[in-house]
Chains A and B, each alone.
Chain A
Amino acid sequence: MIASLLETFRIDFMRHALLAGLLVGAVCGYLGVYVVLKRIVFVGIALAEMSSAGVALALWSGGALGLAMDEHNHLTTVGAVAMVLVGVLLFSIRWSQRRIPQESAIGIGYAMAAAGALVLMARSATGEAHMMDLLFGNILTVSLCDIGTFAGAGALVVLLHLLFAKEFLFTSFDPEMASTIGYRPRRWEVLFHLTLGITIAFAIRLVGVLLVFALLIMPAVTALTVTRRLNRAFPVSVACGALPIAAGLHVSYARDLPSGACIVLVSFLLLLAGGGVSLLRRA
């Protein structure tokens, strides 16, 4: 088993996929705890779709300007980050005071981003099949350059969260009380959404929408199921985000199955196991 696993990761592109997956799994695992506790799972998928729309917009604009566009073009990264920032601003507005529930604004953002991406994709000079990879990522085709870019962005996000751990926690747990002792919960919420958006924008380029979305939710739910303390939930979630990557990639390689989907299924098995452990503890 171990020998077979090692054999899988002797191949360059599988090693790159493993490294990319581990990095994305760890960062998404950490942020996912907040995503689940703050009940903003829908924000995660909406920001992911906004990021894809940004890539499509960059490809279409680049094509229209006669630029040679490929998956390593920095313009697509700029497009993804710019659209995520638009999403963060859109979702941070106090819609409830304008009589529109926040969920509706997020839903509209998601639908518009998905539709916009499809329209721009259809009008782009680049081939549709090629565009699918660019928009939705493919963990098996990541380059070291892409991994380095994500590692830089991820390190910034992790650093911010390590430095301001208590601020993020307090303002998300009880914003009302936090505001009475000088915190500005709205600012911390926007900063949290920014770190989430940046992570999503860069992670999607590596592993695709499905895997990013799954890694934002499943490891956190597993961690919150098996641990009874928030300070333990964060490291457990990081581990649960990273662990299924090797197993999923190995199954995908050995059985010739889609890699992202295999990782998601292994994550789900881990979640089921976590649920089982939790049930046994209560019994």
Chain B
Amino acid sequence: MTNNTARVEDLDGVPAPGPALVRFTGAAFGYGRHRVLSDLSFAIHAGDYLGIVGPNGAGKTTLLKGVLGVLRPQSGRVERRHSEGRDLRFGYVPQINTVDETYPLTALDVALMGRYGRIGPVRRPGKEDRQAALEALEQVGIADLARRLYRDLSGGQRQRVLMARALACEPDILVLDEPTNDMDIAAESATMELIGRLHREERLAILLVSHMLNLVAAHARQIAFLGVGRFEALPAARAVTARHLERLYGTRVSVAECDGRRVVLW
């Protein structure tokens, strides 16, 4: 991890699609005495599609933990609130290689775990929860794999199971950590298309974390750059320009349009 003093820049310039769900105000995160991120101020609104890009070690996972509330800020404030006054619900999709494949659990068993937070302690999942988990599997197009073991599925199918589990939480924000790691082009394209569809059709706020600039540039509406000593969150149109990227990365960069998507070349 690197020491990171963030530049304060909100997502101004983008018409906020909805009320702020998560708001960071001068927040700093770290582990013990080691500070990883400092002075972060930005907000995620309902309906946002925010991509966070940064090299390994820049603090992406730390930022993610801060958003999810798993890591408390060492200073500053993080507010999470839903407009209806209830607790904010996150649908977290971890990297597939962090999920244990030894357990003989079916795709439905895994998706059902997304309901556990709503069931409460001691109680067991009921028919409604099973139905919700099945619907979530259907939403990501793998209802036919419900009875198959999670460990027997391909990388792309497993990613969809984890997305179904996140959707079974009935989330306000879908948080995805490197969702296309170790995937071939077809699986990557299908996964990103699915995320885009959930954003459009379900009106889900998306927070996508990746080290792949092109992936984020092609899909996110807002992009936050996380790097050594900086944090900038900008609308995609302003963020993915050759001039801006050259200033950020300190190397010659070209930006092209292909099939309506921005492609960064270097």
- Residue pair A164, B122 in contact (C-beta under 8 Å): yes
Bound Cα distance A229, B31 (Å): 38
| A73: chain B residues within 8 A (beta carbon) | none
Is the pair B149, A167 in contact by a Cβ cutoff of 8 Å?
no
Pick the residue among A37, A39, A177 that contacts B113 (CB under 8 A).
A177
Asked if A228 is at the interface of the complex by the 8 Å CB criterion, the answer is: yes
B104–A177 touching, CB < 8 Å:
no
Q: Tell me the complex Cα distance, A174–B94, Å.
A: 9
Q: Contacts A166-B124, A176-B98 known; A228 to B119 CB distance under 8 Å?
A: no
A228 touches B122 (CB 8 A): no
A181 to B70, CA, bound (A): 9
B255 within 8 A of A: no
Given contacts A180-B90, A181-B169, contact A173 B103 (CB under 8 A): yes
Contacts of A177 in B (CB 8 A): 92, 94, 99, 113, 165
Q: Find out whether the CB atom of A173 lies under 8 angstroms from the CB atom of B105.
A: yes
Chain A residues with CB under 8 Å of B70's CB are: 176, 179-180
**CB distance A166 to B105 under 8 Å?**
no
Question: A228 contacts which chain B residues (CB < 8 A)?
Answer: 104, 149
CB under 8 Å from chain B, chain A span 21-44: 37, 39
Q: Is the CB of B104 within 8 A of A182?
A: no
Does B172 sit within 8 A of A, measured CB to CB? no
* Dominant secondary structure of chain A at its interface with chain B: helix
Q: Tell me the minimal C-beta distance from A231 to chain B in angstroms.
A: 8
Q: Is B100 at the interface (CB under 8 A from chain A)?
A: yes
B92–A180 CB distance below 8 A = yes
Q: How far is the CB of A34 from chain B (nearest CB, A)?
A: 10
User: Does B39 sit at the interface, judged by CB under 8 A?
Assistant: no
Is the CB of A59 closer than 8 A to any CB of chain B?
Answer: no
A170 at the binding interface (Cβ < 8 Å): yes
Q: Decide: A181 near B116, CB < 8 A? Known: A163-B122, A229-B106, A230-B104.
A: yes
Interface residues of B in 61-111 (CB under 8 A from A): 68-70, 90, 92, 94, 98-100, 102-106, 109
Distance in angstroms between the alpha carbons of A37 and B100 in the assembled complex: 9
Q: How far is the CB of A130 from chain B (nearest CB, A)?
A: 43
A182/B98 in contact, CB under 8 A: no
- B117 at interface by CB-CB < 8 Å: yes
A contact residues around B124 at 8 Å (CB): 165-166
Shortest Cβ distance from A179 into B: residue: B70
Kindly provide the distance from the CB of A68 to the nearest chain B CB, expressed in whole angstroms: 45
Residue A97 at the B interface, CB < 8 A?
yes
Closest A residue to B106 by beta carbon equals A229
- Total interface residues on A, CB under 8 Å, equals 25
**CB of A227 closer than 8 Å to a CB of B:** yes
Q: How far is the CA of A165 from the CA of B31 in the complex (A)?
A: 31
A152, B68: Cα distance in complex, Å: 41
Whether B121 sits at the interface, judged by CB under 8 Å, is yes
Q: Are B104 and A224 in contact (CB under 8 A)?
A: yes
- CB-CB under 8 A from B102, the residues of chain A are 37, 39
Is B229 located at the chain interface by the 8 A CB criterion? no
Whether A182 contacts B117 by the Cβ 8 Å rule is: yes
Does A135 lie at the interface of the complex (its beta carbon under 8 Å from any beta carbon of B)? no
Query: Cα distance A39–B92 when bound, in Å?
Result: 25
Compute how far the CA of A178 lies from the CA of B102 in the bound complex, rounded to whole angstroms.
17
Check: A233 CB closer than 8 A to any chain B CB. yes
Q: Which A137-177 residues have C-beta < 8 A from chain B?
A: 163-167, 170, 173-174, 176-177
Q: Is the CB of B109 within 8 A of A230?
A: yes
Contacting pair B121 A167 (CB below 8 A)? yes
- CB < 8 Å: which of B31, B99, B117, B121 contacts A181? B117
Q: Which residue of A lies closest to B114 (CB)?
A: A181
User: Which residues of the other chain, A, contact B92 by a CB distance below 8 angstroms?
Assistant: 176-177, 180-181
Select which of A165, A174, A179, A233 is within 8 A of B100 by beta carbon.
A174
Judge whether B19 is part of the interface by a CB distance below 8 angstroms: no
Whether the pair B104, A166 counts as a contact (CB closer than 8 A) is no
Judging by beta carbons under 8 Å apart, are A166 and B68 in contact? no
The 8 A CB mask of A224-257 against B (1 = contact, 0 = none) is: 1001111001000000000000000000000000
- Contact flags (1/0) for A174-210 with B, using CB distance below 8 Å? 1011111111000000000000000000000000000
B163-207: CB near A (< 8 Å → 1, else 0) gives 001000100000100000000000000000000000000000000
Please give the distance in Å from A220's CB to the nearest CB on chain B: 12
Report the Cα distance A18→B116, complex, angstroms: 39
Cα distance A183–B117 in the bound complex, in angstroms: 8
Contact A229 B119 (CB under 8 A): no
User: Which 3 pairs between the two chains have the least Cβ-Cβ distance?
Assistant: A181-B117, A180-B92, A180-B68
Further 17 A-B residue pairs, CB within 8 A, beyond A177-B99, A181-B169:
A39-B102, A97-B31, A165-B124, A173-B100, A173-B113, A174-B98, A174-B100, A174-B113, A176-B98, A180-B70, A181-B90, A181-B116, A181-B117, A230-B103, A230-B105, A230-B109, A233-B104
Report A's interface with B, CB cutoff 8 A. Answer: 37, 39, 97, 163-167, 170, 173-174, 176-183, 224, 227-230, 233
